[in-house]
Amino acid sequence: MKRKMTKAEKTEALWGWFFIAPTMLGLLILNFYPIVNTVWQSFCKTGDFGRGNTFVGLQNYIDVLSGSEFWVSLFNTFKYAVIEVPFSVCIALVLAVFLNRKMAGRSIYRTIYFLPMVAAPAAVAMVWKWLYNQQYGLLNHLFGSSTGWISDPKIAWISIGIIGVWSILGYNMVLMIGGLQEIPRDYHEAADIDGASPIRQFFSITVPLLSPTIFFIVQTRIIGALQQFDLIYMVMDTSNPALSSVETVVPVFYRYAFTYGNKGYGATFVILLLLIILFLTVLLQKAEKKFVFYN
């Protein structure tokens, strides 16, 4: 038999709900409702001003999947992720190890590397856009070249990837420094006595013991990279000749949903992206059991 709550318990439960209400309401209104609505819209031919939506079943999905735009943008998305994730993780790991030692100016270096994370992504994109500018950019000025860093389809995706790595490096580094400080000193001291080289120590002690942190970063960065929007939106103008070889899925979604006002068709792009990210996350969770070493 279910026990009735006492008055005090009721009051406590009520207060509990009261305290989580702001977060709950925020999540429901700002996250949950839009998700459900987006899923619904992807099955609709949406009308102007959110009125007159007609259910069309899977038609949007058939159109999106049979066109080339989704596949091209998905390919571009992975091209971006392939640069951003490995480089930002590996460089951050090396930086973290160096900046975890006792050295002069340690906190200054840490601050410098973390600074890009503090700057607004849109501002970062604008500064890089000017560095890359073909006519007036600092890069071409330094090299005496006239390279179209962001408008030559062959290299634009790498240029964009570099901005991505630069922006996220400090964040990954700080997380890794946190992870490094969790590793008990005994292991390295014992290895020192046994005569293991610093390189050997790095690969046999540091990396395995840091693997939970590395895994967390890799997983969140893969998801983040696949959702890339602001860099492309800010740096690549619609008349940029390299746009079609750089444009990722989310900017294409934005173009359909907000420039063309075709919300149903646009929603289909992000729902498909969501499914792909979900699938990858499941795979990664499986991989976690295999590759991650928990103390």
Partner 1 sequence: MPDVFWMHSNVAQKYMENDLLLKLNDYISQSEDIDLANYYEGITGIYQLGDAQYAVPKDHDTVALCYNKAIFDQYQVAYPDETWTWEDFYEAAKAITDAGQGSTYGYSIDVGNNQDGWWNIVYDYGGYVISEDHKTSGMDDPKTLEAMEFLGKLIADTMPAQSVISENGSGTLFTSGVTAMTTQGSWNINTFYTSDNSENFAWSVLPYYDQNGNGTADPGERCTIYNGLGWAAAAGTDAPDAAWSLIEWFCKEENQVKQADLGVTMAGFKGASDSYPSAFEGMDISAFLDMESEGTLVVRPCSKYTTNWETMMGETLVGAWNDVSTMKDACTKIAAEMNAQLAQE
Measured from the CB of residue 218, what is the shortest distance to partner 1 in angstroms? 34
- Whichever of 136 and 294 has its CB closer to partner 1, that residue is 136
237 lines the binding site for partner 1 (CB under 8 A): yes
Minimum gap (Å) between residue 221 Cβ and partner 1:
29
Sign (positive or negative) of CA dihedral 51, 54, 59, 61:
positive
**Site residues for partner 1, window 108-137 (CB under 8 A)?**
129, 133-136
Q: Least Å distance between CB 67 and partner 1?
A: 13
Do 193 and 275 form a contact (C-beta atoms < 8 A)? Answer: no
Q: Is position 73 an interface residue for partner 1 (rule: CB under 8 A)?
A: no
Q: Is 66 in the site for partner 1 (CB under 8 A)?
A: no
11 burial type by CB count under 10 A (0-12 exposed, 13-18 middle, 19+ buried): exposed
CA distances from 273 to 59, 78, 224, 247 (A): 17, 11, 12, 14
- Nearest approach in angstroms of CB 44 to partner 1 is 16
**CA 126 to chain CA centroid, nearest Å:** 19
Stretch that binds partner 1, among 27-35, 164-172, 211-219, 231-239 (CB under 8 A): 231-239
H, E, C per residue of 155-190 = CHHHHHHHHHHHHHHHHHHHHHHHHHHHCCHHHHHH
Q: For residue 261, is it left (φ>0), alpha (ψ between -120 and 50) or beta?
A: left
CA gap 41, 260 in Å, rounded: 15
Residue numbers 169-198 binding partner 1 by CB under 8 A? none
| Phi-psi label, residue 196: left if phi above 0, alpha if psi -120 to 50, beta otherwise | beta
What count of Cα atoms within 13 Å lies in the side-chain half-sphere of residue 9?
4
Question: Applying CB under 8 A, does 68 fall inside the site for partner 1?
Answer: no
Q: Would you count residue 264 as binding partner 1 (CB under 8 A)?
A: no
Contacting range for partner 1; rule: CB under 8 A; set: 34-42, 169-177, 204-212, 254-262: 254-262
**Is the CB of 234 or the CB of 274 nearer to partner 1?**
234
Footprint of partner 1 on 3-62 (CB under 8 A): 48-49, 51
Q: Are 113 and 172 in contact (CB under 8 A)?
A: no
Q: Which is nearer to partner 1, 91 or 127 (CB)?
A: 127
CA pair distance 294, 211, nearest whole angstrom: 8
Task: Please pick, from the candidates 150, 169, 210, 231, the single residue that binds partner 1 as defined by CB under 8 A.
Answer: 150
143 binds partner 1 (CB under 8 A): no
Taking the complex as a whole, the smallest distance from the CB of residue 34 to partner 1 amounts, in Å, to: 22
Count of residues in contact with partner 1, rule CB under 8 A: 23
Closest CA to 249 of 67, 29, 35: 67
- Which residue number, 150 or 222, has a Cβ lying nearer to partner 1? 150
Among 15, 32, 260, 291, binds partner 1 (CB under 8 A): 260
CB count, 10 Å around CB of 109?
15
Q: Which is nearer to partner 1, 147 or 211 (CB)?
A: 147
Task: Supply 206's token pair.
Answer: 């540091």
| Interaction site with partner 1 (CB under 8 A) | 48-49, 51, 129, 133-136, 148, 150-152, 237-243, 255, 259-261
